[in-house]
Chains A and B, each alone.
Chain A
Amino acid sequence: MNELFKAELGRFLKAGLLYGVLHLLLLAFMTRLVDLLQQPLLVYRVAALVFAFTGLLLAAYQMSQHRKPGAWVYLLHRPLHPARIAMALAGAAAVLLFIAVALPLLLDIGGVALFSARIVDTRHWLLPLCAWAIAFGVYLCGACAMLAPRRGMALLLCLPLLSLAVPASGGGALAVQLLAVLLAAGLLLTLFHPDLTSLPRAAAARVAIVLVMQVGLSFALYWVLTLGVEFGLMALGRHPLNGIPPAGGYAEAERADSAALLRAGLGNDARFALLREQAGVAEQAAWGPGAADYPRYGQLTSPMPLEFDDATRHLRWSFSHDRGLFHGVDLATRKDAGWLGRRGIVQGAAAAADRFEQPPLVFDERYLVTPHRLYQFNAIDQSVHLRIALPEDEYFTAAPRKLGTRVLVLGSRRLHVYNDSEFLAGTSQVKDLHTLPLDGAIDNMGRIDAAELLDGYLVSLLHGRQSYHQDVPAWQSVFRLHEDGRVEALARREIGRDYPLLFRHLGWVVTPLWYALQYRLGWIVSGDAEGLPRAVWLAIAALAVACMLITAWQARRAGLRPRERLLWILANGVTGLPGLLSFLLLYPPAVQPRKRGMTVLHTTA
């Protein structure tokens, strides 16, 4: 085993070292230009993709060489258990990927920590391990796919995506990645045997393979069908979002300008004639909630870099997760410029009160926003002030919006209205002039429109952002905010849903089990979901029966044992299409051997 490990390592060592050196040079070059540790999530995702591809490439090359019939016999026909041979090969790959992927990252981070004033947090030291786990996890899955007895088992490559599907961060995310590595390693051991044409014999291995394949198939099915229906509707010229949207539908409302939407929301009621008129001419604003992805302490990556520049002093402030403070670096001299907390510049040792309660997002080089609080940095005196504090049950969903003499802040549960001069000029915490509780979940809210009336404000809330692809209701409500702080609900109208019923329930119909699971786990955010309509239940049942029938038919042709057959039929009744597809990929319709009979005499006359 040791010899095999050394042989395999020696085989790729030169290439691995070359990759590692080039990688390190590239990192060093990039580090001169930018702070690689303060990059948006996308940059890390791209890097992860490159590392994953590296692992895949290694697996594809290595295993394609080993699995050639002659080479496979040479490798496995020896007095050594196949599992030990697999471990020797995978061990060599693990070391190689460490050299090529993780080691340069470690050296680069070490260089930054030693030779620069930039922030290196504890979490950053985990990044090389993460990169290695991604590359090695994909390598293992790639090796599984290469050695798998069925082509459809290439779906095992979905396993590393587990770390994207599970909402975990920081050390948790790394743990999930390492779990994926362990699972993939287990799968590789079960697939690594002399006979490359048969499925593993162990039941646990089969179940694991089927599970991974089904999760991958569920994703694939959902997206293929969604895109298929969209493109189909486009081709038919009946796509609701293409061309003129259906009247009274969500798409129409979503695209209308503020005046039209406000007027539509008020309806034809004679009492609102004046308001309709004002809505057309008043100053208006329209915006919507953005994705609320707040960084958390210890998170490996952030959606955006947590840093901002103080142009007057040529300083760059970068957030340190370890300290909970911003760290300043002089852009000209690259020297240390101290620490900035939520009470301003930190003098001496930092106190708990200096530390931000969560890593803040930065807007306009000035606003530091945690989920519930908005701090303002003043470059003039390098002070930091708490300006807005939302109740603990809600978070900011959009940047403050100025309209007339007011500033509107959309929280996840309420719309808060502040006096603009107080907010813009002062340094103290501002108080609500108006508070409008939202009449629907923020996840489903598409758009908010406001118009400044002569006395107060007209606000329209449009719900139904998820009504295209999920079964959530769509409606519009219009409120009037009176000068005295009173909130008056004026009108509410239901909005039509542009896509057909079954399409909105596609997830439920196509992948019932997986979708229900995600729904229960809260991974699918649709707080407004209604119960499933009868037609959807019928569709699910019909598909289940069809899946069971096809499974039964094919299982008999494939010659499965009765118990196995029954298990598959029952399982596919529950899992539906992904189950059926995984079954067909594992037991493809076999060609029956033909009886042969011929005796031709060889003659040359």
Chain B
Amino acid sequence: MSDYVIETEQLSRSFGRKRALNALSLRVPRGRIHAIVGANGAGKSTLFRVLLGFLPPSDGASRVLGRDSQALTPEHRGRIGFVNEEHTLPGWMSAEAVTAMQRRHYPRWNEAMYRHVLGHYHVLPHQKISQLSRGERAGLNLALALAQSPELLILDEPTLGLDVVAKRAFLQALLDSNATEHCTVIYCSHQMEEIERLADNLIILERGELRHMSSPEDFCERIRHWVADIPFRAPDHADVPGLLLAQKIDQLYHYTVLDQAEDFGAFLRAQGARYVQSMPVSLDSAVNGFLAKNHIAPAA
């Protein structure tokens, strides 16, 4: 058994001139909850489609559960759960019919798990999928995915478009299921709150490249917010080490910087700062700052 549930080597995928994945080398170890974060277009969806063999790579290779993505057998597919953001289920079928179908298809079906997860929702067996609310559909989808007893569960923005209550219900159902005890969870989301609550490991993708992988706390520690009062000319952005974000608010300069120790204060003082203060940042701000760096912005 491979120690990694997901391995990619120099994985690239282009659509015409656009590169969705750019020589991505990623190894996700077995176990725990891994959050994948990235701006829209960071290549997350493309990555999942390549991983599941729904899209061939332009270059490089990928393996899931030790098996080449392009040669997944039905048996392998049975061990990989996938929940997408639309919670696509056949709308014309009733909840019980969909469940009966999945139950027949998956050899390791766990009925207790299914009932437990669905217990968080009010889904009537004879209800048509198309009549369920988005939150209920998400819950049913999660119940179906967890009941398959997957070794790897990929959740691609599962709470997208859900209201606050439904979002919380989804997280609760996921956490209550103790899914992490049996399988590795890949959780892809834009919701920093969810990632803070769930993630053991934070994977940041940007433009199809791996930018960061560590625990969320370790990531936050790399980033710090500094405020300086510089009465004269502030340093050029290009000269500020590790700069992610620079802002001038009232008369003060705010810098969000990456991988700078306390001597960043000394740097600011050397640049003529009369007064320097620093503080840690939340995960939300850290990720935003990190991703903002390479965003195209109109020249200030």
Direct contact of A and B (CB under 8 A): yes
For chain A residues 71-115, which have a beta carbon within 8 Å of chain B? Answer: 71-74, 76-81
Interface flags for B91-107 (1: CB within 8 Å of A; 0: not) read 01100010011101111
CB distance from A4 to the nearest CB of B (A): 7
At the interface, yes or no: B53 with Cβ under 8 Å from chain A?
Answer: yes
CB distance from A595 to the nearest CB of B (A): 9
Give Cα distance in the complex from A194 to B19, angstroms.
21
Cβ 8 A contact of A3, one of B70, B105, B247: B105
CB distance from B171 to the nearest CB of A (A): 22
At the interface, yes or no: A332 with Cβ under 8 Å from chain B?
Answer: no
Assess whether A194 is in contact with B293, with CB atoms less than 8 Å apart.
no
Give Cα distance in the complex from A78 to B54, angstroms.
13
For chain B residues 235-289, which have a beta carbon within 8 Å of chain A? Answer: 237-238, 243-248
At the interface, yes or no: A592 with Cβ under 8 Å from chain B?
Answer: yes
Residues of B within 8 A of A68 (CB): 88
Give Cα distance in the complex from A594 to B56, angstroms.
19
At the interface, yes or no: B60 with Cβ under 8 Å from chain A?
Answer: no
Give Cα distance in the complex from A604 to B74, angstroms.
51
Give Cα distance in the complex from A196 to B49, angstroms.
11
Residues of A within 8 A of B100 (CB): 3
Give Cα distance in the complex from A551 to B74, angstroms.
38
Cβ 8 A contact of A79, one of B70, B77, B101, B297: B77
Given contacts A11-B90, A603-B300, contact A78 B74 (CB under 8 A): yes
Assess whether A74 is in contact with B92, with CB atoms less than 8 Å apart.
no
Cβ 8 A contact of B82, one of A77, A79, A198, A600: A77
CB distance from A61 to the nearest CB of B (A): 12
Assess whether B296 is in contact with A195, with CB atoms less than 8 Å apart.
no
Assess whether B297 is in contact with A602, with CB atoms less than 8 Å apart.
yes
Interface flags for A43-80 (1: CB within 8 Å of B; 0: not) read 00000000000000000000000001111111011111
Residues of A within 8 A of B75 (CB): 79
CB distance from A150 to the nearest CB of B (A): 15
Residues of A within 8 A of B56 (CB): 195, 197-198
Assess whether A80 is in contact with B248, with CB atoms less than 8 Å apart.
no
CB distance from A557 to the nearest CB of B (A): 14
At the interface, yes or no: B84 with Cβ under 8 Å from chain A?
Answer: yes
CB distance from A35 to the nearest CB of B (A): 41
Interface flags for B72-93 (1: CB within 8 Å of A; 0: not) read 1011011010101010111011
Assess whether B55 is in contact with A4, with CB atoms less than 8 Å apart.
no
At the interface, yes or no: A380 with Cβ under 8 Å from chain B?
Answer: no
Assess whether B49 is in contact with A11, with CB atoms less than 8 Å apart.
no
At the interface, yes or no: B295 with Cβ under 8 Å from chain A?
Answer: yes
Assess whether B104 is in contact with A604, with CB atoms less than 8 Å apart.
no
Residues of B within 8 A of A598 (CB): 296
At the interface, yes or no: A312 with Cβ under 8 Å from chain B?
Answer: no
Assess whether B78 is in contact with A3, with CB atoms less than 8 Å apart.
no
Assess whether B77 is in contact with A77, with CB atoms less than 8 Å apart.
yes
CB distance from A12 to the nearest CB of B (A): 9
At the interface, yes or no: A520 with Cβ under 8 Å from chain B?
Answer: no
Residues of B within 8 A of A593 (CB): 14, 16-19, 58
Assess whether A591 is in contact with B16, with CB atoms less than 8 Å apart.
yes
Interface flags for B45-81 (1: CB within 8 Å of A; 0: not) read 0000100111110100000000000101011011010
Give Cα distance in the complex from A536 to B11, angstroms.
52
Cβ 8 A contact of A194, one of B17, B54, B238: B54
Cβ 8 A contact of A195, one of B54, B92, B243: B54
At the interface, yes or no: B292 with Cβ under 8 Å from chain A?
Answer: yes
Assess whether A77 is in contact with B80, with CB atoms less than 8 Å apart.
yes
At the interface, yes or no: A7 with Cβ under 8 Å from chain B?
Answer: yes
CB distance from B94 to the nearest CB of A (A): 10
Identify the closest chain A residue to B100 (Cβ).
A3
Cβ 8 A contact of B55, one of A79, A197, A596: A197
Given contacts A11-B90, A194-B52, A601-B243, contact A79 B106 (CB under 8 A): yes
At the interface, yes or no: A10 with Cβ under 8 Å from chain B?
Answer: yes
Assess whether B105 is in contact with A80, with CB atoms less than 8 Å apart.
yes
CB distance from A18 to the nearest CB of B (A): 15
Assess whether A603 is in contact with B52, with CB atoms less than 8 Å apart.
no
At the interface, yes or no: A605 with Cβ under 8 Å from chain B?
Answer: yes
CB distance from A214 to the nearest CB of B (A): 26
CB distance from B271 to the nearest CB of A (A): 16
Identify the closest chain B residue to A8 (Cβ).
B90
At the interface, yes or no: A333 with Cβ under 8 Å from chain B?
Answer: no
At the interface, yes or no: B40 with Cβ under 8 Å from chain A?
Answer: no
At the interface, yes or no: A268 with Cβ under 8 Å from chain B?
Answer: no
Give Cα distance in the complex from A71 to B78, angstroms.
17
Assess whether B89 is in contact with A78, with CB atoms less than 8 Å apart.
no
Given contacts A195-B53, A602-B245, A605-B248, contact A74 B19 (CB under 8 A): no
Identify the closest chain B residue to A70 (Cβ).
B88
Residues of A within 8 A of B89 (CB): 74
Residues of A within 8 A of B97 (CB): 7, 10
Identify the closest chain B residue to A603 (Cβ).
B300
Assess whether B101 is in contact with A4, with CB atoms less than 8 Å apart.
yes
Interface flags for B24-61 (1: CB within 8 Å of A; 0: not) read 00000000000000000000000001001111101000
Residues of A within 8 A of B244 (CB): 602
Residues of A within 8 A of B88 (CB): 68, 70-71, 73-74
Residues of A within 8 A of B82 (CB): 73, 77
Identify the closest chain B residue to A12 (Cβ).
B92
CB distance from A208 to the nearest CB of B (A): 21
Identify the closest chain A residue to B246 (Cβ).
A603
Assess whether B93 is in contact with A7, with CB atoms less than 8 Å apart.
yes
For chain A residues 1-28, which have a beta carbon within 8 Å of chain B? Answer: 2-4, 7, 10-11
Give Cα distance in the complex from A601 to B293, angstroms.
6
CB distance from A42 to the nearest CB of B (A): 38
Identify the closest chain B residue to A2 (Cβ).
B104
Residues of B within 8 A of A72 (CB): 54
Assess whether B90 is in contact with A80, with CB atoms less than 8 Å apart.
no
CB distance from A64 to the nearest CB of B (A): 14
Identify the closest chain B residue to A11 (Cβ).
B92
CB distance from A111 to the nearest CB of B (A): 34
Give Cα distance in the complex from A604 to B17, angstroms.
30
CB distance from A596 to the nearest CB of B (A): 7
CB distance from A160 to the nearest CB of B (A): 28
At the interface, yes or no: A421 with Cβ under 8 Å from chain B?
Answer: no
Residues of B within 8 A of A194 (CB): 52-54, 72
Assess whether A605 is in contact with B300, with CB atoms less than 8 Å apart.
yes
Assess whether A73 is in contact with B84, with CB atoms less than 8 Å apart.
yes
A10, A593, A600: residue with the most chain B Cβ atoms closer than 10 Å: A593
At the interface, yes or no: A599 with Cβ under 8 Å from chain B?
Answer: yes
CB distance from B125 to the nearest CB of A (A): 16
Which residues of A pack against B, CB within 8 Å? Answer: 2-4, 7, 10-11, 68-74, 76-81, 194-198, 591-594, 596, 598-605
17 A-B residue pairings within 8 Å (CB atoms): A4-B101, A7-B93, A10-B93, A70-B86, A74-B88, A78-B74, A78-B77, A79-B75, A80-B74, A195-B70, A591-B17, A598-B296, A599-B294, A600-B297, A602-B245, A605-B246, A605-B248
Given contacts A593-B18, A596-B19, 9 further A-B contacts (CB under 8 A): A68-B88, A71-B88, A74-B84, A76-B54, A78-B78, A79-B105, A195-B55, A195-B70, A602-B293
Closest 4 pairs (CB-CB, A-B):
A79-B78, A70-B88, A3-B101, A593-B14
Which residues of B pack against A, CB within 8 Å? Answer: 14, 16-19, 49, 52-56, 58, 70, 72, 74-75, 77-78, 80, 82, 84, 86, 88-90, 92-93, 97, 100-102, 104-107, 237-238, 243-248, 292-297, 300
